[in-house]
Amino acid sequence: MNEGQEMDEHFSLLVETLKNKQMNEFRESFFALHIYEQGQLYQSLDEIERKEIYSYLSPKELADMFDVIEEDNENMKDYLAEMRPSYAAEMLAEMYTDNAVDLLNMLEKSQKAKYLSLMSKESAAEIKELLHYEDDTAGSIMTTEYVSIVANQTVRSAMYVLKNQADVAETIYYVYVVDQENHLVGVISLRDLIINEDDTMISEVLSERVISVHVGDDQEDVAKMIRDYDFLAVPVTDYDDHLLGIVTVDDIIDVIDDEAASDYSGLAGVNVEAVSENPFKAASKRLPWLITLLFLGMSTASLISHYEALVSEASILAVFISLITGTAGNAGTQSLAVAVRRLAFADEKDNNFIRLIVSEVLTGLVTGAITGITILIVVGIWKQNLPLGFVIGMAMFCAITVANLAGSLIPMLMDRLGFDPAVASGPFITTLSDLTSVLIYFNIAGLFMQYFI
């Protein structure tokens, strides 16, 4: 029996204990699971079974499990609605603050206010403090559950503070050092606390070179910093360098997933996260882009119609239209993907606009030249017409160069203007490449027609 089958059997046994109202047996088997597996079990149950769980688990026990369930799960609002309001409010108060904020932000204002009013003043105040930060900023993803100490205390007293706060802190591997006014002055690792003598002063062993982010910084920039410095967490400060919270690596993983999904959505021209089993709902999500591109595609059709006389005079030209437009579209999409990736991960100092454009032009020239020469030889041999092969090859060379430039230039310009470069989607670049490729192809064919007819 493989691991998946064993887990399914374990889940089945747990469901049986729920149906038979065997609370002690359920709790024993439930807490034997990894917390991720607890979340998977919970989400696999129906409403009646989940309501039974609410009578078996305390709000704190349920909160621990909710902390690991993806906050973008579309059923989260339904889960809260199933619970008694006071139970749900207590559960939210027991969650890590950043996770509770993410969950509350999914609710209507009235629901949000209801749960906050049922919490203790202290818990509600912590959550309200994070609710006002703008989406996709360091403030919106930070947690206020961290450990801080002061410089003028010993390692012994710092360890005492750590032991007392460890159960509520989201991570204890970094301990942040502040002054009497809560200004961030340094950081010390758990390892340093363990290996130093008890009577050693924190000021003697702390690292004053602490890397932090501002509360208003974009979450993508925070993700890059944690990736570059290989941090498990990074402190978040305000304009006066007061320590407000920390962003942990598990939240950054969620950010990376969200940003990747956003980029994929842009490249595909459809929201890849909006997965729906309802075909009509799924179609409604995709139709706007398709209709827009349909009208843009009509421009290509109109352009081909404009060269109808040329095609009627040399019908062989029609054979290669899809070959040139398709290849140029593929080249443009490749360039777009590379450009978006480069913009996402390039350092500011390396993000030289002119250098990147020159690089892409040269890349387009090389790929276009090689592809053009290849098709020149193939068409020349296939059709026994070298001048025709030259026309197709030259058109291919120019079309790929232009498509390559467009695929890199458009997202770079959008980035410069402050828009998400991934919005320059693959379907848009492909359709644009079709338009330019047809224009290039027929103009070159018109210039050299007398040589290949």
How do the domains of the chain map onto residue ranges? Answer: 3-133, 148-256, 279-452
pLDDT for the residue 278: 61
Count how many Cα atoms sit within 13 Å of the Cα of residue 307 in the half-sphere of its side chain: 24
pLDDT for the residue 349: 47
Cα separation, 359 vs 207, whole angstroms? 42
- Residue 373: partners with Cβ closer than 8 Å, 6 or more residues away: 393
Span 279-452 CATH architecture: Orthogonal Bundle (1.10)
Tens digits of per-residue pLDDT, 110-138?
A: 999 999 999 999 899 889 888 888 888 99
Backbone angles phi, psi at 107, to 5 degrees: -95, 165
Cα separation, 34 vs 36, whole angstroms? 5
Q: Which CATH superfamily is domain 148-256 in?
A: CBS-domain (3.10.580.10)
Cα separation, 446 vs 438, whole angstroms? 12
Residue ranges in the chain modelled with pLDDT below 70: 1-5, 70-73, 257-278, 281-282, 284-286, 289, 293, 343-353, 418-426, 453
Q: Give the position of tokens 């204002």.
A: 109
pLDDT for the residue 131: 87
Tens digits of per-residue pLDDT, 261-288?
A: 555 555 555 554 555 556 776 676 667 7
Answer for the pair 280, 177: CB distance below 8 angstroms, yes or no: no
pLDDT for the residue 399: 93
DSSP characters over 47-62? HHHHHHHHHHS-HHHH
Answer for the pair 401, 361: CB distance below 8 angstroms, yes or no: yes
- With CA atoms as reference, report the closest residue to 425 among 262, 267, 287, 293: 267
Reduced to 3 states (helix: H, G, I; strand: E, B; else coil), residue 136 is coil
Q: 3-133 maps to which CATH number? A: 1.25.60.10
Percent of the chain with pLDDT over 70: 86
Taking the complete model, does pTM exceed 0.75, yes or no? no
pLDDT for the residue 2: 59
Q: Give the position of tokens 């276009």.
A: 368
